[in-house]
Amino acid sequence: MFACIYIPDFPVEAIVRAEPLLRARAVAVLEGKPPVVRVVSINEKARRLGIKTGMTKLQAAIFAAPGEHSTAILRQRSMEREASAHSALLDVAHAFTPRVEDTAATMLLLDLAGLERLHGAPTQMARALALRVSLVGLKANVALATNPDAAMHAARGFRGVTLIPAGKEAQRLGALPLAVLLDAFQTSASNNSPADSDREKQREQMLDTLDRWGVRNFRTLALLPEHALASRLGEAGARLRQLARGAGMRTLVLCEPASRFEEAMELEFPVETIEPLAFILNRLLEQLCARLEARAFAAQELHLRLQLERRVTDAETLAAQDLSNDSHNVRQAEHSLRLPVATRDAKVFLKLLQLELAAHPPGAPVTKVSITAKPAPPRPAQRGLFLPISPETEKLEITLARISAVVGERRAGIAGLLDSHRPDSFRMDRFMTTSEESKHTKHPTASYIGKQPSLALRLFRPAWQLRVRLVEGRPVTLTAVATPSDRAGLRGRIVWSAGPWCSSGDWWSENGKLESAGKDQSRPWNREEWDVALANGNDGGVALYRIYRDPASGRWFADASYD
């Protein structure tokens, strides 16, 4: 058993998929460069209004009065949307069976042999396929037959779901017009034909010849004698007769399932603010997540590419540029999201993208949006029964993005200790709730002691520069040169001191190389540390600080207090 999924009026369907509100309206799709812009596809409602394919834009505009609900909507053809729709169709097919032929942009053939135990009877399979296609936003004709060509003709000729029992092909297909047969014949033989114009010419000639013979549907063609037909129309004639009888069998040319999930939309008018862009992102993400779900995937990585409107500052420069070379001057903004766990929740992605765009605005009006998802296996929903509470991963990601918007980039996360004796050496890592590997790679000192609470340091970032008076090599008074406005000044008499503790490191590094690399963590350091108790105020209070002297510059700093 073979199935065929056919999307009639595909350019219209691709646009309606991106803008579902247009489903209830008459839509006509235009193509071409002004002044030769013509209607290339229309839906049933537009057909009823009187719009026909091949009309000029001006002729179609008569049916599209602005502001009136009953009139038609004219849209420019979008190859991006058609590509996305076709990819979605392929995802649906590959989720159903691995044996799929990508016959055309509008049509797929599926081999359903052996799938009865998985998907049920052929009727159920046909309905399930139609339902799955509708879930990705497309309206399709689905037909099942014992051979791929019969299924293809039935999908092209009959609306909705069609099931042709074995042996009834000629009977069911008999009433279909010959145009359906010739269209399908051209589609299946398109790889061998030299050019579109030649194929169209051959089709018109064949149709005209058969019409003059009085052959206008499948049934009359199937009744013609094979030898006589072959002698007049050649091999194509015999093949057409065989197809009209619903007979014959061929092998499907199978295609590989795509490993790339991308949804794109070209905007008719540039979008300048994030709020309207969010609606577009939401739509694209919903489509993307539906495709991922159809293939039982989730996404851990998401890439957003925004094509920005080119800002023209010099009119002469613009005039000098060739319009056909615009693609070389396209400005783009790219954003990437990387989640700790795979998900296909469009709302989570949308919120994260909104926060990302709020933190890094595109800087120019957006003309095209493209979202690519890297597929990953979905995470198991079941967690351990006795695990302690932890934040929900998706919710936590949004919270972290919001926190970053408040405190700044890379100021919220996990402090990872570096393998160095340099004071305050750490790196900020991403905070994750499901860090399975971290359980095995803990810092050696990270084991819980739990016996004796220990003294801790409170660091001053950056260290405060001090003026220190020494007596016999020991500090006796100190005064901070400058302290933050909200902190009490650090000054007073040192009532107790211990030190110095001399330490240095990274003196073996080459200064030039490291400075060019811009790595502060690798610059040489040298310090003489003192622990001091400083009498502050008149109440006799004492606070403990760690101060140090930089031998290279001779300057003193306070970098921490003991607490």
Pick out residues in 376-395 that bind another protein (CB under 8 A): 387-392, 395
Residue 122 phi/psi, 5° resolution?
-55, -40
Cβ atoms 30, 77 nearer than 8 A: yes
- Nearer CB in complex with another protein: 114/484: 484
Strand partners, 83: none
Which one of 280, 535, 550, 555 is in contact with another protein (CB under 8 A)? 535
What is residue 223's three-state secondary structure? helix
Instruction: Bin 473: left if φ > 0, else alpha if -120 < ψ < 50, else beta.
Output: left
Binding mask 319-348 for another protein (x = CB under 8 A): ------------------------------
CA distances from 158 to 5, 22, 125, 452 (A): 12, 23, 17, 81
Q: What letter would DSSP give residue 375?
A: E
Is residue 271 within 8 Å of 1, Cβ to Cβ? Answer: no
Is residue 33 a contact point for another protein (CB under 8 A)? no
Site for another protein (CB under 8 A): which residue of 123, 273, 336, 438?
438
Q: Does 364 bind another protein (CB under 8 A)?
A: no
Q: Provide CB contacts within 8 A for 128, sequence distance 6+.
A: 96, 119, 120
| Cα 103 to Cα 96: distance, rounded to the nearest angstrom | 17
CB of residue 183 vs another protein: minimum separation in angstroms? Answer: 56
- Select the residue interacting with another protein from 458, 469, 513, 519 (CB under 8 A): 458
260 vs 443 by CB, closer to another protein: 443
Q: How far is CA 25 from the centre of its chain?
A: 29
318: contact with another protein by CB under 8 A: no
Minimum CB distance to another protein, residue 509 (Å): 21
- Is 24 a binder of another protein (CB under 8 A)? no
Q: How far is the CB of 487 from another protein (least distance, A)?
A: 6
Q: Given the complex with another protein, which of 216 and 402 has the nearer CB atom?
A: 402
> Hey, what amino acid is at 76?
Q
The residue count for binding another protein (CB under 8 A) is 76
Take residue 30 and report the two structure tokens written for it: 């235009």
Selected from 65, 79, 358, 459, the binder of another protein by CB under 8 A is 459
Query: Least separation, in Å, of the C-beta of 85 and another protein?
Result: 37
Distance (Å, whole) CA 281 – CA 328: 25
**Smallest separation, CB 562 to another protein (Å):** 5
For another protein, give the closer residue by CB, 500 or 524.
500
Query: What x-and-dash track marks residues 414-433 binding another protein by CB under 8 A?
Result: xxxx-----xx-x-x--x-x
d(CA 51, CA 158): 22
Could you tell me the smallest distance in angstroms from the CB atom of residue 453 to another protein?
A: 4
H-assigned helices in 224-331: 226-233, 235-244, 274-294, 315-320
Three-class SS of 494-547: EEEEEEEEEEEECCCCCHHHHHHHCCHHHCCEEEEEEEEEEECCCCCCEEEEEE
Per DSSP bridges, beta strands 72-76 and 26-31 are parallel
Separation of alpha carbons 389 and 126, rounded Å: 45
The token pair that represents 306 in the structure block: 């925004």
165 forms part of the interface with another protein (CB under 8 A): no
Site for another protein in 478-517 (CB under 8 A): 484-488, 495-501
For the chain, how many residues are written?
A: 563
Task: Give CA–CA dist 105/14, Å, rounded.
Answer: 11
- Interface mask (CB under 8 A) for another protein, residues 397-416, using x and -? -xxx-xx--xxx--xxxxxx
Q: Find the part of the chain contacting another protein (CB under 8 A) among 64-72, 82-90, 265-273, 458-466.
A: 458-466
The distance of closest approach from Cβ of residue 521 to another protein in the complex, given in angstroms and rounded to an integer, is 14
Of residues 67 and 450, the one with the C-beta less far from another protein: 450
Please identify, using beta-carbon distances, which residue of 213 and 496 lies nearer to another protein: 496
